[in-house]
Amino acid sequence: MNTMVSRLYRCGLMMEAMRLLRNISNRDIRSWNSLISGLAQNSEGAGALVLFREMQVEGVKGNFFTMAIGNATLDMYAKCGCMDDASLCFRNIVSKNVITWTYLIIGFGKNGLEDEALKVFGQMEMEKIVPNKITFLGILYACSYARLVQEGLKHFNIMINSYCFTPMMEHYTCMVDLLARSGHLEQALEFIEKKCQSNQIQSSLQLFLVHVTFTRM
């Protein structure tokens, strides 16, 4: 029966696969994973979320693959700008990891909801979830979108001083963009000279700064 569920969803017969799954008495984690994955791959995020929640209500313990599906569904909603659905998906994921939190932060940041992004980051810290470099990139996106210069500088320094992360090119670019678009051109130049150790990165950022400056004119 579990094999039949897989065959149905691979043929695009998602409703039939869902009905069959619910009628199987000995369904295991593979059955749930197969169908949740199939729904997500066919842009049926809402259905994937419903099944994901059903699985948790029934006490079925997910594995890494299940978590990955939940994270992918959250990311899909965020990229579509459906942050209410992304937030619902986030709340329904019981075993959240750093990727789960990061997807939500990036989603809020890129959709102009900077206050929500910063709020989620604060909750993440309260729950002792250690952020990664991409988490901080999401925060910097949010700060750049909202022109929050001091918040951006604060979190950039936290990333380096508190978590000992070496910034990626994307972090530098985000900060230069934030400073330049906020009208702080001299501060942007100073940032490039003081924060970037590599001459190559400095040159690239200086060219980027020129580009941003001209697009503002």
Please write the tens of the pLDDT for every residue from 99-148: 999 999 999 999 989 999 999 999 999 999 999 999 999 999 999 989 99
Q: What is the dihedral of CA 55, 59, 63, 68, to 10 degrees?
A: 40
Q: What pLDDT digit, counting tens, does each position of 82-97 carry?
A: 899 899 888 877 778 8
Are the C-beta atoms of residues 85 and 53 closer than 8 Å to each other?
Answer: no
The full set of domain ranges for the chain reads: 1-80
Position 204 confidence tier, pLDDT thresholds 50, 70, 90: confident
Mean pLDDT of the chain: 82
3-state SS of 179-200? Answer: HHHCCCHHHHHHHHHHHCCCHH
Across the range 183-204, mean pLDDT stands at 86
At residue 164, the pLDDT reads: 94
What does the DSSP 8-state code read for residue 93?
-
pLDDT band at 44 (very low <50, low <70, confident <90, very high): low
- DSSP annotation of 80: T
